[in-house]
Structure 1
């Protein structure tokens, strides 16, 4: 019941505002064509009729379109929606006009039904119908614009949420993947050398602490990653001894350079897993810098039992880089060597947040947009109401000089600029200017990611 009362009150207010706008427009047009106005009963009676038509027809069309938009499923009948909406609005408007005119004739003017029918003219209905259709079109434009803005916000929320969830999933793959491979190494060491297995367990706990610390970060410094890689390679040598050799740079050329966390560990795991490593055929691994790439290169000694070299670890790195930068991970394979080149990122304008910051930011922007729209409607309502009063005062006191047009035009320009600002409408820049500008800024944003 409370919702019904609230909806009824809202409809009356909307109808009142619409009626005020129609009164202002009609009185101004009539004054421009020479009509003079006097404050008397006939003037208030005429205004009362305007309010009666405006409120009733607004209520009819508002209820009808709310029903059409919210109560009917249009998925299968989208092509008929516009036609049915217009036809239904026209029929209901004509019926509403007839009922209003009948009420005025029988109740307010005390005429008979036969006299009312005899004096009816289709022109009354055409004029009212045209005004109603113009008002309805205006409301539809506002409604569809608001819906398009809401859909844009929802779309951005979905994009941000999907990217955030994808990035989080990719990072969470590292933890079990690393543990699984480490336990495999430990199992082998227990069988071969229990002393090394004990040392491996101690070192593994230190490394695992690093994994837990770094896995929730988007990026880490190259220096940290190389230091970790060195510790990890020492663990691998406990198992493979003289079967694995590695080379690492002693220092980093750019201390600000960053890479995806645990990328070296994943690549080193893949290298040992997918290649033969024995004392007769040792595996050499080289890590070095070349330009703005960190290169991990190893001898290509593929194990015949493994068909697909690009496993979880390498694909994980490729996917994580694709989310936070436009630069690609390069993979090169020859008969003798396998090489992976990781982009070293040095500039960060925007990194995707993995918590709720993105969604909260989108919500705040949407909230501010709604507040701006409400402010514009408040400004527009004030403009209409105040200028109606000024127009009435002008037409009553000095109809020969339409001085109310000066504040109406000046304020109207301000309202128009306010509306264009709120709704991002720039008529002199073309209909597709906004979309072009959005695409331009999006491309610039991509270029300003990590380079």
Structure 2
């Protein structure tokens, strides 16, 4: 426990001693005050330090944020056992040694059962208040930590997405200029035609590179234009086959994905009139496939790997669906997921996280409401007990609000930790899992 906690317990001991000294002690002497202070310190420090050590131990072993239900159950059991032992010990020392009002045999004979039971209840109320306070403090820390983590995740994802998009512009320009430089030597007229067509394509690149997703129709039209450029360079050495379903045209893919994959096909394979490179673009089970016959060319230098890696990373930021790559001795195929919706870059990746965060936030509100109810109970009931005992000790009436409110509090706790919506959600998941296994 911290030094601050011991100082608080010291002040509680002094305050309790003054209260009992002035209101319940007939002889106002220094000896009686010191006795009151000693008894108050006995209860305050033993109960306070005992519950504090238990709370610190449970915080390390079973943090509220990681195992809320388990921690709540263990806290209840440990509070009951520990406070029962601590109260009996404090009462024994108080009545047998300090006040010398009873012998050990009388204390355990049943004469002090009511006092022991009463003090156990007071200790439990105070202990519950301390554990609830600990939960609220950890809840604040966890909430702040989650907010910071979510902000960092969002900033990181946005920065990563922007970085990936910024690769497209120079990458396309570099590859196009390489093609153009080759054509200038091989066929100047074709180079002029290529330059005119390249300006149209580059306009598309500038328009689409900042978008997260584009329609399959736009991407196919752009790919066809780009294929015309490649045919201009390679003439009959490269052939392109498009077989994309019309219903996929209104769905979405990442922009310039086809252009990057077409570049890869040309870059990593040789193409001649006798052995033409055949590139197919077609639909297959909610994916857009780009397949080419494998005619691997020897690389003079290692590839930078920007094209395919860029596509994979952009898809990973947008959806859980993966980009699949198939390679055999005869062909190389890349499958791009075709998306039905057009979401935002960060929100898609974190869609499930957002839903989970909303559920967690709702769960926290339920737990917070329960502990607010518990704290109110811990404050109000001891106050009613003191009023009852001071005003009319012969007529005990504090049982009724204590039991009635206590039953309601127990029901509230059961709904939050045991048989609430969390239990319903678990049962629903179990049933669905059983159905899926059939």
Shorter-chain TM-score tier: 0.5 to 0.7
Structure 1 residues 192, 163: CA separation in 2 closer, same or farther (over 3 Å shift)?
A: same
135-144 or 256-265, which deviates more: 135-144
1:204 pairs with 2:198 = yes
2:203 paired with 1:220: no
Q: Does 1:253 align with 2:253?
A: no
Following superposition, the deviation at residue 343 of structure 1 comes to 2.9
2:308 corresponds to 1:314: yes
SS in 2 for 1:281: coil
Say which SS state the counterpart of residue 245 (structure 1) adopts: strand
Partner SS, residue 395 of structure 1:
helix
Partner of 1:41: 24
Distance (whole Å) between structure 1 residues aligned to residue 199 and residue 39 of structure 2: 83
Residue 291 of structure 2: aligned partner: 297
Match of 2:258 in 1: 264
The TM-score normalised by the length of structure 2 is 0.59
- Aligned partners of 1:274 and 1:251: how far apart in 2? 28
Query: What's the counterpart of residue 404 of structure 1?
Result: 398
Shift of 1:230: 1.2
* 2:335 counterpart residue number: 341
Match of 2:377 in 1: 383
Q: Which moved more, 1:344-353 or 1:218-227?
A: 344-353
| C-alpha separation in 2, matches of 1:134 and 1:388 | 8
Distance between the aligned counterparts of 2:362 and 2:421, measured in 1?
A: 25
Distance change in 2, residues 1:212/1:57 (3 Å): farther
Alpha-carbon separation, structure 2, partners of 1:330 and 1:439: 29
Judged with a 3 Å threshold, the aligned counterparts in structure 2 of structure 1 residues 439 and 365 are, in CA distance, closer, same or farther, namely closer
How many Å apart are 1:175 and its aligned residue?
3.8
Which residue of the partner structure matches residue 276 of structure 1? 270
The answer (yes or no) to whether the contact 1:15–1:54 under 8 Å persists in 2 is: no
2:386 corresponds to 1:392: yes
Q: Residues 429 and 168 from structure 1, CA distance in 2 versus in 1: closer, same or farther, beyond 3 angstroms?
A: same
Unaligned runs of 5+ in 1: 1-6, 24-38, 69-93, 102-114, 444-451
Partner-residue secondary structure (3-state), 1:287: strand
Aligned to 2:142: 150
Aligned to 1:178: 172
TM-aligned CA distance change 1:171 to 1:53, over 3 Å: farther
**Residue 134 (structure 1) shift:** 11
Cα distance change, pair 367–425 in 1 and its aligned pair in 2 (3 A): closer
Return the offset for 1:387: 1.7
Q: Which residue is equivalent to 1:105?
A: none
Q: Deviations over 1:288-307 (max 9, x none)?
A: 22343322222322213369
- 1:271 is displaced (CA, Å) by 0.6
Distance (Å, rounded) in 2 between the aligned partners of 1:316 and 1:298: 20
Q: 1:251 to 1:439 in 2, by over 3 A?
A: closer
* Distance of aligned partners of 1:245 and 1:14 in 2 relative to their CA distance in 1, 3 Å threshold: farther
Q: Matched residue of 1:331: which SS?
A: strand
Q: Deviations over 1:216-267 (max 9, x none)?
A: 4443322121112112212223322333222224762334432233221111
Q: Distance in 1 between matches of 2:411 and 2:166?
A: 50
**Which secondary structure does the structure 1 equivalent of 2:334 belong to?**
strand
- Determine helix, strand or coil for the equivalent of 1:390: helix
CA distance in 2, matches of 1:66, 1:403: 33
Q: Which runs of 5+ in 2 are unaligned?
A: 58-85, 108-115, 434-438
3-state secondary structure, aligned to 1:253: helix
Contact 2:294 2:332 in 1 (8 A): yes
**1:11–1:58 CA contact under 8 A, matched in 2:** no
Alignment CA distance shift 1:381-1:436 (3 Å): closer
Q: Corresponding residue for 2:61?
A: none
CA contact (8 A) 1:293 1:341 kept: yes
Tell me if structure 2 keeps the 8 A contact 1:222–1:257: yes
Asked whether the 8 Å contact 1:394–1:403 carries over to 2, the reply is yes
Partner of 1:33: none
- Post-superposition offset of 1:40: 5.3
Verify: 1:329 aligned to 2:326, yes or no. Answer: no
Task: Give 1:233's match in structure 2, choosing from 227, 234, 239.
Answer: 227
Contact 2:125 2:378 in 1 (8 A): no
Aligned residues: 377
User: Equivalents in 1 of 2:345, 2:167: separation in Å?
Assistant: 20
TM-score (norm 1): 0.58
Does the CA-based 8 Å contact 2:318-2:349 persist in structure 1? no
CA displacement 1:342-365 (0-9 Å, x = unmatched) = 232336899743899999999988
Distance 1:264 1:364, change over 3 A: same
Q: Offset at 1:339?
A: 2.5
Cα pair 2:55 2:131 within 8 Å, conserved = no
**Rounded Cα–Cα distance in structure 1 between residues aligned with 2:170 and 2:428:** 41
Which stretch shows the higher mean deviation, 289-298 or 161-170?
161-170
